[in-house]
Amino acid sequence: MGKKIHCLTYLLLIIPPFLLTSYFFAAFPNRPESIQVSPSLASLPKQAKSWSVYPEDFYGVGGYARFPYGKVKYWMLGPEDGKKIVLIHGLSIPALIWKDVAPGLAARGYRVLLYDLYGRGYSDAPQTTYDTTLYVTQLALLMQHIKWEKAHVFGVSMGGALTAAFTANFPELVEDRVVVVASAGLIKTSDLSRTTKVMSSPLVQTLTSSWLARKFIQRLTDSANETSDKPVDPIQEIVRLQSAHLSGYNAAISSSLRDGPVRGEEDSFKSDVWKGRRLLIIHGTKDNTVPYKYAAQIQSLVNASGCDAQLVTIEGAGHDLTVSHPDEIVQNMTKFLSDS
């Protein structure tokens, strides 16, 4: 009888740790699956219209950098010893939006870096959340890749908000003069169009990213071009082509509207990293995408942080200032950088 009690005591001491150890081994998670990446414009056949509208060598040969979230396409223009400038494009149009500004800056002796954000143009489209962290990390890694320790950062539209977020998160990588053009970042939900709100819906994201939806958009795009006698607008056309042919594009746009820096970047503009810096804000009075009132709000926020912010107003101008007013943009940028 004593031996049985003894054995039972040992079992009671051994079994619980054994079961607990077995549980932890059984419950230990498997290694996470790698991030799925959708292809870029580079994957389309050479006869695709995108190659004539926005070819891979639009700004010269350029290069690709491979990061954990996929490949990133970039180009570098201008003399190697020039002041370094990074140009960040906006929500839907890749680096093509700088088609007149980038060469203008390079011609004035600046070293210009352009690149396509994830999900646009020739950069891959990771199946992930397109939030501010994704975008600012992309640029930080790209600057490390090309061995740039610091640069002036210029952004247009959503790229303006990214410029502010990048400055706030990586101030050591940003020179003391920054430029934002028609900058997003502070937009209130009430100022978003109904179309924008619908496009940001997860359901619409899923539907528009489907194979059937893209085929339908392809048909619409092709038929519109065939029946129109007007010359193709490369800016509008590249948006249609990406939406129709890139499986990750619509999801990237939708997630950026919902999760990205289009809204909610007040803290980036209020950050104390702006103290001692100078900011040039350029905005058009007829901007229906990012209303003109937000330019003054950005100026007020950064000035309160100790920044010297200058607002340049372009009367009667809409949202795509780098396309509609490239000479004014280049002149204001170069003057801003050269002023003592």
SS3 248: coil
* Position 72 in a domain: yes
In a domain? residue 129 = yes
Q: Is 42 a domain residue?
A: yes
% pLDDT > 90, the chain: 76
In a domain, 31, yes or no: no
Does the residue 30 lie in any domain?
no
Q: How far is CA 44 from CA 15, 122, 123, in A?
A: 61, 10, 13
What's the domain count of the chain?
Answer: 1
* CA 93 distance to own-chain centroid: 10
Q: Where are the beta strands (DSSP E) in the chain?
A: 37-38, 63-67, 70-77, 84-88, 111-115, 125-126, 152-156, 177-181, 278-284, 308-314
Kindly state whether residue 127 falls inside one of the protein's structural domains: yes
pLDDT in tens, 73-91: 999 999 999 999 999 999 9
pLDDT at 213: 53
Region 193-201: what's the mean pLDDT? Answer: 63
153 close to 260: Cβ distance less than 8 angstroms: no
The CATH number of whichever domain residue 58 belongs to comes to 3.40.50.1820
Q: Which residues of 276-307 are buried (b: 16+ CB within 10 A; e: fewer)?
A: ebbbbbbbbeebebbbbebbeebbebbeebeb
Q: What are phi and psi of 330, to 5 degrees?
A: -65, -45
State how far the alpha carbon of 120 is from the alpha carbons of 40, 125, 256, 292, 323, in Å: 7, 7, 12, 26, 18
Distance in angstroms (rounded) separating the CA atoms of residues 251 and 117: 13
Q: How far apart are CA 237 and CA 93, in angstroms?
A: 10
Higher pLDDT, 226 or 339: 339
Tokens of 311: 């607002």
For residues 266 and 184, give the distance between their C-alpha atoms in angstroms, rounded to a whole number. Answer: 11
Q: How far is CA 281 from CA 85, 105, 278, in A?
A: 16, 17, 10
Instruction: Supply the range of the domain harboring residue 137.
Output: 37-190+260-338
| Rounded Cα gap, residues 308 and 326, in angstroms | 24
Asked if residue 7 has pLDDT above 80, the reply is: no
- The rounded distance, in Å, linking the Cα atoms of 9 and 200 is 62
pLDDT digits (tens, 9 = 90+) for 49-67: 999 999 999 999 999 999 9
The string of pLDDT tens digits covering residues 270-329 is 999 999 999 999 999 999 999 999 999 999 999 999 999 999 999 999 999 999 999 999
Distance from chain centroid for Cα 140: 12
In a domain, 201, yes or no: no
The answer to whether residue 283 sits within a structural domain is yes
